[in-house]
């Protein structure tokens, strides 16, 4: 740990700080909610969609460094959110947030951050921080905002050091719905907002491990009736809803730490030949249920421009098709551990890591990336059509 003497002095006017578990203090200007929050520092390379990123429940216990320097300049609205205020605990940005300029804005980003209890830090050399994450992996840290500028750095360092880290941590119970929900919202249209659907089938039961709302909107857009159920729903509770397919959502934390309640249910669904579609955490847990293993990545993949190649038979492999995708994950299925029952359908063109699996002989597949985008490109919508279109 860096001693107080090794740390650069607090600059004049600094009201925010990021303190890494190794004792490094990175100063800036605080905004949003006051206080301190612990999490893993990651970086996201998307140029747009900061509200969606900040409200993606998969980011629970993470502090997002935005590599794009101008964040907050389209303000905040009530529509571009992916959950009811869950998601990242804080964000780090290069430039100070300026007043918004956008016809859809209803609020300033700094006010919105405050209302959602999220801490912001601006004026940080985000290139240097991103480089540090790339070279040394994602550090545990505390982000803190105190308008008076009075910080107890030693206490913040201790807080960062005492945190368990994401590996082995199950965060799903914190973010999952506690009650089932009849989901009706469809896609968004300029001037109309979100559309509504009254379809009754095919019926998809979506297990909420910390889901992004746009996944449900995409299922609706693809023609499904969606019932969202809590993460700890039992196999009997799920089957009582007579699902024609079950969707396994994204979510925060370590997939291997959910093994006690989520993975056995997924294994049972597989045995009963229920069609399955998993995204991100749901994909990882589908892999675990089928016998594969997951591992923590060095720095993870987060952004809206990640190229993925289709390599599976019947998935466009022969045409060499590539999708540009939205990603947010720090764990991945280790392709070396895929059992014979699983086929690798997609791989990352950045590092060759696993990005898709299909269970041979069953209608069950998953992707590591976010085909619902939000933010990001919509190249992968075909996956929703493939899942919903194949039901019933």
- Give catalytic residues, as residue numbers: 280, 370, 372
**Pair 142, 38: CB distance under 8 Å:** yes
Q: Quickly list DSSP for 213-234.
A: HHHHHHHHHTT-EEEEEETT--
Minimum distance, C-beta of residue 353 to ligand GLN, in the bound complex (Å): 11
- Per CB under 6 A, the list member of 39, 90, 123, 252 interacting with ligand GLN is 252
CA angle (56 as vertex; 51, 60 as ends), nearest 5: 115
Q: Which residues make beta-bridge pairs with 62?
A: 40
Query: Which residue stretches of 142-300 are H helix?
Result: 153-162, 172-175, 213-221, 235-240, 262-271, 281-290
* 39 labelled binding-site residue: no
Residue from 206, 280, 286, 358 in contact with ligand GLN (CB under 6 A): 280
Does residue number 233 form part of the binding site for ligand GLN (CB under 6 A)? no
Has 331 been labeled as part of a binding site?
Answer: yes
Footprint of ligand GLN on residues 329-358 (CB under 6 A)?
Answer: 329-331
Q: Which of residues 289-308 bind ligand GLN (CB under 6 A)?
A: none
Nearest approach in angstroms of CB 6 to ligand GLN is: 32
CB closer to ligand GLN out of 195 and 353: 353
Please give the Cα distance from 40 to 169 (Å, whole number): 12
Cβ 290 to ligand GLN shortest distance, Å: 17
- To the nearest whole angstrom, how small is the minimum distance from the Cβ of residue 180 to ligand GLN? 21
The structure tokens listed for 1 are 């740990």
> Token pair of 44, please?
């996201």
By three-state DSSP, how is residue 178 classified?
coil
250 touches ligand GLN (CB under 6 A): yes
Q: Which stretch binds ligand GLN (CB under 6 A): 104-112, 141-149, 183-191, 251-259?
A: 251-259
Size of interface with ligand GLN, in residues (CB under 6 A): 11
Using DSSP, state whether 94 is helix, strand or coil: coil
Q: How far out from the chain centre does Cα 236 lie? A: 28
Residue 58 engages ligand GLN in binding (rule: CB under 6 A): yes
Alpha carbons 79 and 348: distance in angstroms, whole number: 31
Q: Which of 24, 65, 126, 328 binds ligand GLN (CB under 6 A)?
A: 328
Task: Give Cα separations from 363 to 39, 233, 293, 388 (angstroms).
Answer: 37, 22, 21, 11
Beta carbons within 8 Å of 133's beta carbon, 6+ residues apart:
41, 42, 43, 65, 139, 299
Shortest CB 48 distance to ligand GLN, Å? 18
Considering only the stretches 46-54, 105-113, 240-248, 323-331, report the one whose residues sit in contact with ligand GLN under the rule CB under 6 A: 323-331
Nearer to ligand GLN, 16 or 57 (CB): 57
Q: Which residues are annotated as a binding site for L-glutamine?
A: 58, 251, 253, 281, 284, 328, 330-331
Binding residues for ligand GLN, rule: CB under 6 A, are: 58, 250-253, 280-281, 328-331
Q: Which residues are annotated as a binding site?
A: 58, 251, 253, 281, 284, 328, 330-331
């Amino acid at each position: 740990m860096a001693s107080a003497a090794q740390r650069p002095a607090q600059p004049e006017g600094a009201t925010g700080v990021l303190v890494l578990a190794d004792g490094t203090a990175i100063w800036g200007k605080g905004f949003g909610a006051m206080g301190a929050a612990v999490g893993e520092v990651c970086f996201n390379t998307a140029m747009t969609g900061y509200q969606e990123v900040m409200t993606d429940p998969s980011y629970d216990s993470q502090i997002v460094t935005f590599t794009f320097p101008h964040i907050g300049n389209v303000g905040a609205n009530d529509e571009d959110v992916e959950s009811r205020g869950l998601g990242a605990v804080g964000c780090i940005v290069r430039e100070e947030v300026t007043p918004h300029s956008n016809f859809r804005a209803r609020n300033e980003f700094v006010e919105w951050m405050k209302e959602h209890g999220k801490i912001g830090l601006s004026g940080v050399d985000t290139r240097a921080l991103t480089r540090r994450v790339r070279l040394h992996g994602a550090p545990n840290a505390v982000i803190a905002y105190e308008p008076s500028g009075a910080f107890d750095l030693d206490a913040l360092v201790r807080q960062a050091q005492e945190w368990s880290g994401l590996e082995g941590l199950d965060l799903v119970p914190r973010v999952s719905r506690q009650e089932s929900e009849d989901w009706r919202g469809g896609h968004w249209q300029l001037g109309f907002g979100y559309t509504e659907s009254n379809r009754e089938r095919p019926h998809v039961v979506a297990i909420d491990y910390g889901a992004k709302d746009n996944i449900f909107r995409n299922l609706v857009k693809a023609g499904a009736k969606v019932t969202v159920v809590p993460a700890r729903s039992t196999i009997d509770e799920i089957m009582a809803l007579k699902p024609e397919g079950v969707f396994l959502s994204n979510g925060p934390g370590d997939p291997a730490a959910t093994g006690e309640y989520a993975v056995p249910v997924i294994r049972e669904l597989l045995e009963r030949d229920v069609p399955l579609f998993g995204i991100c955490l749901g994909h990882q847990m589908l892999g675990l249920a089928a016998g594969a293993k997951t591992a923590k990545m060095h720095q993870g993949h987060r952004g809206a421009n990640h190229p993925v190649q289709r390599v599976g038979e019947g998935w466009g492999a022969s045409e060499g098709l590539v999708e540009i995708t939205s990603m947010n994950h720090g764990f991945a299925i280790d392709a070396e551990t895929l059992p014979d029952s699983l086929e690798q359908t997609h791989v990352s063109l950045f590092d060759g890591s696993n990005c898709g699996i299909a269970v041979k002989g069953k209608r069950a597949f998953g992707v590591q990336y976010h085909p619902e985008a939000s933010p990001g490109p919509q190249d992968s919508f075909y996956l929703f059509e493939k899942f919903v279109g194949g039901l019933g």
